[in-house]
A and B are shown apart, each in its own frame.
Chain A
């Protein structure tokens, strides 16, 4: 029997067409859903950027999105880097809010090395003066954070404006040279 001789009733034809239609429609919908869910991540420059400032500690690295400050601390004397690093809002269209958030610190709490510092303060200034700060002070062998939650509130930096971080360090008279403290702080920016 030849395939060409097979006679299909109207209902059979309709059923076959209906099934293939459902298949094609479902496949179309799946492709379209896949298209709409296609992530589009474009690389762009951050709105808030770090930039070098006049009193940047020597040996520091400052990039647009991150910076590493290699500051010193003197026993029994406060060392101030008046303008350690700039934080610039390069977005000419709108203001952006940012905050400082503590991530990690070494030597860790409970270790004797902590006693080599009295305080390390990151103070944010603008042209009108002090705005906010994230401070590390030592009590015994523990770091005490201020604010205690480990993060500041958000502060809005106007468009095309530069603020700066003033870094203050102080060690006790008994501090031993050669000790290194590493602090990691995130700058959270609300886009």
Chain B
């Protein structure tokens, strides 16, 4: 059985990944960004500690939602960096690489885990809301792809 804390661990690892990648691409990001992501990852560690200490106090429903929120924040950062590279920095090639090597796999894996968790706990959690959120995420991801893979489309929109 999956524990909702899996999302917190996944998110924390995502922040660590972002920290390392932004350090490697340091000339394209503000200097503090890698350290901010490290702090965010350490917050995830604190998140897990709190979950462990209050395991008997917090019910699974509550643990699921606050862990999912943390995962959503991590995924939003992944997508935000993608958009930052594409829109603000106009590094189309890098944005495409980021999209296919980081954004797509992380979002896909996260969606898979969340959906699987929601399916297993179908009686407890509102699957309909979860499905709507996931569909929304996929739509946003699809739009991002079409924009990133075809920069001319973005130019068209601007005009």
Q: Which residues from chain A sit less than 8 Å from chain B, CB to CB?
A: 10, 13-14, 17-18, 20-21, 24-25, 27-29, 31-32, 34-36, 38
Contacts and interface: CB of A to CB of B under 8 A. Distances in A.
Interface stretch (B9-17, B101-109, B111-119, B145-153): B9-17
A69 B126 CA distance: 53
B34 A24 contact: no
A12 to B, nearest CB: 10
Nearest to B12: A28
B51 interface: yes
B94 interface: no
B41 to A, nearest CB: 5
Contact of A31 (B20, B23, B52): B52
Interface in B1-58: 3, 5-6, 8-9, 12-13, 16, 19-20, 23-24, 26, 34, 38, 41-42, 44-45, 48-49, 51-52, 55
Top 8 nearest A-B pairs by Cβ distance? A21-B16, A31-B48, A32-B9, A28-B9, A14-B23, A17-B23, A24-B41, A28-B12
Contacts of A38: 52, 55
Given A10-B23, A24-B44, 20 more contacts: A14-B20, A17-B23, A18-B20, A21-B16, A21-B38, A21-B41, A24-B16, A24-B38, A28-B13, A28-B44, A28-B48, A31-B5, A31-B48, A32-B3, A32-B6, A35-B3, A35-B48, A35-B51, A35-B52, A35-B55
B3 A13 contact: no
Interface of B: 3, 5-6, 8-9, 12-13, 16, 19-20, 23-24, 26, 34, 38, 41-42, 44-45, 48-49, 51-52, 55
Nearest to A20: B38
A23 B49 CA distance: 15
A28 to B, nearest CB: 5
Contact of A17 (B3, B9, B34): B34
The majority secondary structure among interface residues of chain A is helix
Nearest to B27: A10
B45 to A, nearest CB: 6
A161 B49 CA distance: 47
Contact of B5 (A10, A18, A21, A35): A35
Contact of B26 (A13, A21, A24, A35): A13
A32 B5 contact: yes
A7 B41 CA distance: 25
Contacts of B13: 25, 28
A162 B20 CA distance: 66
B24 A34 contact: no
Contacts of A10: 23, 26
Contact of B9 (A13, A18, A20, A29): A29
Given A24-B41, A25-B13, A28-B12, A17 B52 contact: no
B34 A13 contact: yes
10 contacts: A13-B34, A17-B20, A18-B20, A21-B16, A21-B20, A25-B16, A28-B9, A28-B44, A32-B48, A38-B55
A39 B5 CA distance: 16
A34 to B, nearest CB: 6
